[in-house]
């Protein structure tokens, strides 16, 4: 019942909502980013981060620091926050929190399968996997030769099993098939998460519908741009789009027939929320599109905290933390490679 969450929400969710709002207060501000952008070395970055919530995670790291170390330790903070919330959560919040990690699971599966295809060491690949997307049998992914084996040997016992029904084929795995598999899995995952949120109802359904619709639309645009000039047919492209979102269904029809970035732009400018995103780009340019989408996503995620008594704050916090880690990785790489002039190119300010 929409509007009556206040009566019962705090019985099970009040403590965790307070916790997540406390974590949100610990996110880096514009002032922090300005200080970080002026750093000369990675040790300076470590010194600035010592006054933030990342301090305890970085304090025992010896010099010389590497970008990977900073990212790893900052990700550890995110993982610890997540595990603490998951331990305290009851149904249906615990299922909601588990849904948040399925995207990372899909990325990890694709990373291992692609790495194995290119004969990379499995141990080295496991170290690159996101810790939130780990599951027990992940190392055995390396033995699979095609989608059917991948499902039968490994994924049948994971939460991703239901999403594989659409992409089980006996074709051998190659780069193109793996990319199609990733997008098919993501489509099934987003649709499932969307249905779950609709079932929860109330403010959670309202806010999460908006956030997931934005994610689905962004993926549709990225799939379109990345498939221009490949052998992917229009029908195959359309099959990879999620069956919800602002662009569904008429926007998908237009995107499916786009042949270049300017046609994508023409299709997207008919939708006011995306008009402002494409207005930031000059014609024929797609490099800054990711940043423009991230900025819009951050705006929407911050708005999720304006309402109370809903689960979308947990999703929003996890996404904002991940964006913050991407920002720190970019700043650290620019400092390490002495490219200070490019430091503002990909930093998305959160507050």
Q: Could you tell me the pLDDT band of residue 52, with boundaries at 50, 70 and 90? A: very high
Q: Could you tell me the pLDDT band of residue 351, with boundaries at 50, 70 and 90? A: confident
Please indicate whether residue 345 or residue 311 has the higher confidence score (pLDDT).
Answer: 311
pLDDT for residue 1:
46
pLDDT for residue 101:
95
Alpha helices in 119-166 (DSSP H): 122-128, 147-153
pLDDT for residue 112:
87
Q: Mapping DSSP to helix (H, G, I), strand (E, B) and coil, where does residue 169 land?
A: coil
For the residues 336-350, what does the mean pLDDT come to?
87
pLDDT tens digits for range 73-82: 999 999 999 9
Residue 325's nearest CA partner among 344, 304, 347, 351 is 347
pLDDT tens digits for range 151-160: 777 778 888 8
pLDDT for residue 99:
96
Alpha helices in the chain (DSSP H): 5-12, 14-25, 30-37, 42-49, 55-58, 67-88, 93-117, 122-128, 147-153, 175-200, 202-227, 234-239, 250-256, 261-268, 272-279, 289-304, 312-336
pLDDT tens digits for range 289-302: 888 999 999 999 99
Q: Mapping DSSP to helix (H, G, I), strand (E, B) and coil, where does residue 12 land?
A: helix
User: What CA–CA distances, in Å, run from 21 to 7, 169, 231, 273, 322?
Assistant: 20, 44, 47, 27, 16
Structural domain boundaries of the chain? 5-19+82-320, 20-81+321-350
How far is residue 88's CA from residue 335's CA, in Å, rounded to a whole number? 39
Q: Could you tell me the pLDDT band of residue 274, with boundaries at 50, 70 and 90? A: very high
Task: Determine phi and psi for 59, rounding to 5 degrees.
Answer: -65, -30
pLDDT tens digits for range 103-113: 999 999 889 88
Q: Specify whether the CB–CB gap between 79 and 341 falls below 8 A.
A: no
- The chain-wide mean pLDDT, for the chain, equals 89
Q: Could you tell me the pLDDT band of residue 68, with boundaries at 50, 70 and 90? A: very high
Does the pLDDT of residue 303 top 80, yes or no? yes
Sequence length of the chain is: 351
Q: Specify whether the CB–CB gap between 270 and 253 falls below 8 A.
A: no
How far is residue 54's CA from residue 56's CA, in Å, rounded to a whole number? 6
pLDDT for residue 84:
95
Q: 182-199: string of b/e by CB count within 10 Å (b at 16+)?
A: bbbbbbbbbbebbebbee
Please indicate whether residue 223 or residue 345 has the higher confidence score (pLDDT).
Answer: 223
Q: Could you tell me the pLDDT band of residue 13, with boundaries at 50, 70 and 90? A: confident
How far is residue 261's CA from residue 222's CA, in Å, rounded to a whole number? 10
Q: How far is CA 313 from the centre of its chain?
A: 15
Please indicate whether residue 133 or residue 165 has the higher confidence score (pLDDT).
Answer: 133
Please indicate whether residue 173 or residue 95 has the higher confidence score (pLDDT).
Answer: 95
How far is residue 45's CA from residue 55's CA, in Å, rounded to a whole number? 11
Q: Mapping DSSP to helix (H, G, I), strand (E, B) and coil, where does residue 172 land?
A: strand
pLDDT for residue 169:
64
């Amino acid at each position: 019942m929409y509007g009556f969450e206040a009566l019962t929400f705090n019985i099970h969710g009040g403590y965790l909502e307070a916790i997540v709002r406390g974590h949100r207060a610990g996110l880096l501000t514009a002032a922090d980013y300005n200080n970080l952008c002026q750093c000369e070395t990675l040790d300076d970055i470590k010194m600035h981060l010592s006054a933030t919530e990342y301090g305890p995670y970085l304090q025992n790291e010896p010099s010389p620091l590497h970008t990977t170390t900073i990212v790893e330790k900052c990700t550890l903070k995110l993982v610890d926050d997540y595990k603490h919330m998951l331990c305290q959560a009851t149904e249906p919040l615990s299922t909601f929190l588990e849904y948040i990690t399925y995207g990372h699971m899909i990325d990890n599966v694709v990373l291992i399968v692609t790495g194995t295809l290119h004969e990379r060491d499995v141990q080295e690949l496991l170290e690159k996997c996101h810790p939130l997307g780990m599951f027990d049998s992940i190392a055995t992914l390396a033995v699979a030769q095609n989608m059917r084996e991948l499902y039968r040997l490994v994924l049948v016992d994971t939460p991703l099993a239901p999403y594989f029904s659409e992409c089980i084929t006996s074709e051998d795995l190659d780069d193109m098939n793996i990319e199609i598999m990733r997008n098919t899995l993501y489509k099934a995952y987003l649709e499932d998460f969307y249905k779950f949120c609709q079932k929860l109802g109330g403010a959670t359904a309202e806010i999460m519908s908006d956030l997931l619709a934005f994610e689905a639309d962004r993926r549709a645009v990225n799939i379109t741009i990345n498939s221009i000039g490949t052998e992917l047919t229009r029908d195959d492209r359309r099959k990879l789009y999620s069956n919800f979102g602002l662009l569904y269904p008429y926007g998908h029809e237009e995107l499916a027939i786009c042949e270049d970035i300017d046609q994508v732009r023409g299709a997207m400018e008919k939708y006011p929320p995306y008009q402002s995103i494409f207005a930031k780009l000059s014609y024929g340019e797609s490099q800054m599109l990711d940043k423009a989408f991230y900025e819009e996503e951050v705006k929407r995620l911050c708005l999720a905290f304006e309402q109370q008594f809903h689960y979308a704050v947990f999703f929003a916090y996890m996404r904002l933390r991940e964006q913050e880690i991407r920002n720190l990785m970019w700043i650290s790489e620019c400092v390490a490679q002495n490219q200070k002039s490019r430091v503002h190119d990909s930093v998305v300010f959160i507050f």
